């Protein structure tokens, strides 16, 4: 019985832990979960910034002061032309221009002349608002471009933080690579080879899979690391041009008032980054191969279940401080995993593992709490039952002891007592001490028998005489409640075994029948079958009875039914467990047939003496 309960309890724990794993994993993929994952990602970004390096890119900025000097946005083309003319002298490796130039404008001739002298020029194209195609630079500019890259800004991010970038966009039927990627291709003089898992772009294998829409995470350089020089400053200090030597230049507007695409980055904490700087960061990500890849779904799910299982095991098998330490370690591990993975350039979502672990710990702890409480209640019950046993024993023993004490005292005090009286006293002492000894003997015998320390006596005795003796003793009790004990046509069948134990068993059944019946009822003892080598003896009452579940449990030590407890009858729940042991030791069986309020029938099936 007990091991089955144990298994059921462990299955419950396994179920709870499994459900925690599933719940944690699934919540990680809800909108809320994804948002939290992103915040954790940003946090890791700030926690683990890449070590600074010498950037291969530089920003040629059209900043506030430049635009002011050139008369606002209208002077943008002239300003860019002047800037290019200055840096072209030191031969930059590539110049990528993030200005959309689909229509003629002011300063076009100057800009075209500057473009003509620019080596490795990459121009930008943007998607038409309706997505039907691309807005390309006018042919007067386009003819100088080695390549054209798209700079279409997706500003539909749910928290406006730009963490990643698709490496291509499609408008109409025309696919364009991103500006930074084009700059990389031009600089390395290579073409793209596409595989399902990524893009092979010269010396760089970019892990941008088809499945992920060829998106890469941008590994932003520490703020301020990629240099910016404005056209205004170049005008003031032409020697600054030297900084552009051999670099990949990203030229564009940085003026806060004019910038069209503004981004927040995981670092920015509300500070906005102009698009041109973001392109430079994408370039650095590719050039330094600082690719952050997402952990696979299988890996995440497996880790969630591993955490949940570990929590379950900890609570199932550890306890006390080990359990606490294990819980702490587990929580720590679930938090460290994303950090350690991030150091390895793997992005591990924070929510699923965390929630799976927390849920599993919470449910396993609740499970343990209930289990411990159940054990505690059981122990408490056992304690009170033992106390009751002590009460019972002292109560049962006190009656004969009081009689013995009283009688012996009288004898010793009154030396000149009449002989008849003295004999009567002595008889009381004798019979009561025998009763006491028998009671103790029965308890001890049954304990020894069940412990296998004693052989059963093998005497022959008649069933009818035994039952009559028990009935006679029980009648003294029954009379108080006006209960009639009736024994019907008992055969003189012979049994073999320990007569005293058997008497204890039958007497116990009879006194129970009397105890748990109301006044003015009847208890009947009869034999209904004595064919074969067995005899069936039944003791039937018209008492409180019990329901079916209880009929199984009453043979357990210390078990008492609610009805019995409420009846006010003294009891310990030990008697029937002893009866059952005695009967089993004699090779017999005991059954109960009972209905609440209708009465009970206890039937012994006993072996006849051969």
Stretch that binds ligand ADP, among 64-72, 270-278, 431-439, 570-578 (CB under 6 A): 570-578
Q: Does 446 bind ligand ADP (CB under 6 A)?
A: no
Q: Which is nearer to ligand ADP, 68 or 394 (CB)?
A: 394
Q: Does 120 bind ligand ADP (CB under 6 A)?
A: no
Binder among 259, 273, 546, 590 for ligand ADP (CB under 6 A) = 546
Binder among 251, 560, 586, 604 for ligand ADP (CB under 6 A) = 560
Q: Does 543 bind ligand ADP (CB under 6 A)?
A: yes
Q: Which residues of 214-223 are buried (b: 16+ CB within 10 A; e: fewer)?
A: bbbbbbbbee
- Distance between CA 24 and CA 355 in Å, rounded? 5
Stretch that binds ligand ADP, among 136-144, 184-192, 403-411, 567-575 (CB under 6 A): 567-575
- Distance between CA 500 and CA 446 in Å, rounded? 11
Stretch that binds ligand ADP, among 32-40, 422-430, 439-447, 564-572 (CB under 6 A): 564-572
The region that residue 91 occupies, defined by phi over 0 for left and psi between -120 and 50 for alpha, beta otherwise, is left
User: What DSSP assignment string belongs to 276-336?
Assistant: HHHHHHHHHHHHTT---EEPPHHHHHHHHHHHHHHHHHHHHH--HHHHHHHHHHHHHHHHH
Q: Which is nearer to ligand ADP, 438 or 608 (CB)?
A: 438
Q: Does 561 bind ligand ADP (CB under 6 A)?
A: yes
Phi, psi for residue 510 in degrees, rounded to 5:
-70, -45
Tokens of 348: 């591990």
Minimum distance between the CB of residue 551 and ligand ADP, rounded to whole angstroms?
9
Q: Which is nearer to ligand ADP, 54 or 476 (CB)?
A: 476
Residue 98: Cβ within 10 Å count = 28
Q: Does 583 bind ligand ADP (CB under 6 A)?
A: no
Residues 6+ apart with CB under 8 A from 386: 558
Q: Does 576 bind ligand ADP (CB under 6 A)?
A: yes
- Binders of ligand ADP among residues 501 to 540 (CB under 6 A) are 512-513, 516
- Distance between CA 455 and CA 502 in Å, rounded? 15
Q: Which is nearer to ligand ADP, 216 or 513 (CB)?
A: 513
- Cα dist. 337→19, 183, 300, 364 in Å? 21, 36, 11, 22
Q: Which is nearer to ligand ADP, 372 or 570 (CB)?
A: 570
Q: Does 152 bind ligand ADP (CB under 6 A)?
A: no
Stretch that binds ligand ADP, among 39-47, 339-347, 377-385, 544-552 (CB under 6 A): 544-552
Binder among 162, 334, 572, 581 for ligand ADP (CB under 6 A) = 572
Stretch that binds ligand ADP, among 374-382, 472-480, 496-504, 556-564 (CB under 6 A): 556-564
Strands 273-274 and 94-97: unpaired
Minimum distance between the CB of residue 390 and ligand ADP, rounded to whole angstroms?
13
Minimum distance between the CB of residue 397 and ligand ADP, rounded to whole angstroms?
15
Tokens of 11: 């299955």
- The angle formed by the CA atoms of residues 325, 329 and 332, to the nearest 5 degrees, is 140
Comparing C-alpha atoms, which of 368, 160, 360, 380 is closest to residue 266? 160
Binder among 554, 582, 590, 604 for ligand ADP (CB under 6 A) = 554
Q: Does 604 bind ligand ADP (CB under 6 A)?
A: no
Q: Which is nearer to ligand ADP, 334 or 538 (CB)?
A: 538
Minimum distance between the CB of residue 604 and ligand ADP, rounded to whole angstroms?
13
**Sequence-ordered strand ranges (E) for 17-166:** 57-62, 94-97, 121-127, 134-135, 147-150, 164-166
Binder among 79, 544, 583, 604 for ligand ADP (CB under 6 A) = 544
Where helices occur in 92-210 by DSSP H, the ranges are 108-116, 139-142, 179-188
Q: For ligand ADP, which residue has the nearest CB?
A: 571
Q: Which is nearer to ligand ADP, 297 or 552 (CB)?
A: 552
Residue 328: CA atoms inside 13 Å, Cβ hemisphere, count? 6
Contact residues: ligand ADP, CB under 6 A: 512-513, 516, 541, 543-546, 554, 560-561, 564, 571-577, 600
């Amino acid at each position: 019985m007990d091991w089955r309960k144990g298994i059921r309890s462990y299955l419950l724990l396994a179920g709870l832990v499994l459900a925690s794993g599933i719940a944690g994993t699934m919540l990680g993929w809800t909108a809320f979960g994804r948002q939290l994952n992103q915040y954790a990602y940003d946090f890791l970004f700030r926690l683990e910034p890449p070590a600074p390096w010498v950037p291969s890119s530089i920003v040629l900025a059209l900043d506030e002061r430049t635009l002011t000097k050139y008369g606002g946005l209208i002077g943008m083309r002239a300003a860019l032309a002047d800037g290019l003319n200055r840096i072209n002298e030191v031969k930059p490796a590539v110049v990528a221009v993030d200005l959309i130039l689909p229509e003629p404008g002011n300063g076009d001739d100057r800009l075209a002349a500057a473009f003509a002298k620019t080596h490795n020029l990459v121009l930008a194209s943007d998607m038409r608002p309706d997505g039907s195609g691309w807005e390309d630079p006018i042919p007067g500019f386009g003819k100088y471009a080695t390549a054209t890259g798209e700079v279409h800004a997706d500003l539909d991010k749910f928290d406006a933080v730009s963490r990643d970038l698709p490496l291509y966009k499609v408008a109409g039927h025309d696919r364009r690579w991103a500006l930074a990627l084009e700059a990389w291709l031009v600089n390395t003089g290579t073409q793209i080879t596409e595989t399902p898992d990524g893009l092979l772009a010269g010396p760089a294998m970019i892990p941008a899979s088809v499945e992920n829409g060829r998106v890469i995470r941008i590994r932003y350089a520490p703020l301020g690391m990629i240099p910016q020089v404005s056209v205004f400053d170049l005008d003031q200090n032409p020697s600054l041009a030297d900084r552009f030597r051999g670099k990949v230049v990203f030229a564009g507007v940085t003026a806060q008032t004019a910038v069209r695409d503004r981004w927040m980055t995981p670092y920015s904490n509300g500070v906005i980054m102009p698009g041109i700087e973001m392109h430079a960061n994408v370039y650095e990500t590719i050039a330094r191969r600082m690719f952050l890849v997402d952990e696979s779904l299988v890996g995440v799910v497996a880790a969630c279940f591993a955490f949940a299982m570990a929590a379950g095991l900890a609570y199932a098998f550890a306890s006390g401080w080990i359990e606490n330490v294990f819980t702490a370690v587990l929580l720590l591990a679930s938090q460290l995993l994303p950090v350690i993975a991030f150091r390895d350039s793997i992005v591990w979502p924070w929510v699923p593992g965390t929630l799976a672990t927390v849920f599993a710990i919470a449910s396993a702890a609740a499970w343990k709490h209930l289990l411990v409480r159940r054990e505690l209640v059981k122990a408490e019950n056992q304690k009170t039952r033992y106390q009751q046993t002590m009460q019972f024993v002292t109560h049962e023993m006190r009656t004969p002891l009081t009689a013995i004490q009283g009688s012996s005292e009288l004898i010793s005090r009154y030396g000149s007592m009449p002989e008849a009286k003295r004999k009567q006293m002595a008889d009381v002492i004798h019979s009561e001490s025998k009763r006491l000894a028998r009671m103790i003997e029965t308890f001890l015998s049954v304990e020894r028998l069940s412990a296998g320390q004693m052989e059963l006596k093998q005497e022959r005795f008649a069933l009818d005489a035994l039952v009559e003796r028990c009935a006679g003793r029980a009648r003294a009790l029954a009379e108080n409640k006006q209960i009639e004990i009736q024994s019907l046509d008992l055969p003189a069948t012979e049994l073999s075994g320990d007569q005293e134990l058997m008497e204890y068993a039958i007497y116990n059944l009879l006194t129970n029948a009397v105890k748990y019946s109301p006044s003015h009822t009847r208890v009947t003892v009869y034999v209904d079958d004595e064919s074969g080598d067995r005899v069936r003896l039944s003791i039937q009452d018209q008492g409180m009875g019990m329901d079916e579940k209880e009929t199984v449990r009453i043979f357990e030590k210390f078990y008492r039914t609610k009805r019995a407890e409420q009846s006010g009858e003294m009891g310990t729940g030990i008697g029937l467990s002893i009866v059952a042991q005695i009967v089993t030791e004699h090779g017999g069986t005991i059954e109960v047939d009972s209905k609440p309020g209708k009465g009970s029938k206890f039937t012994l099936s006993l072996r006849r003496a051969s």
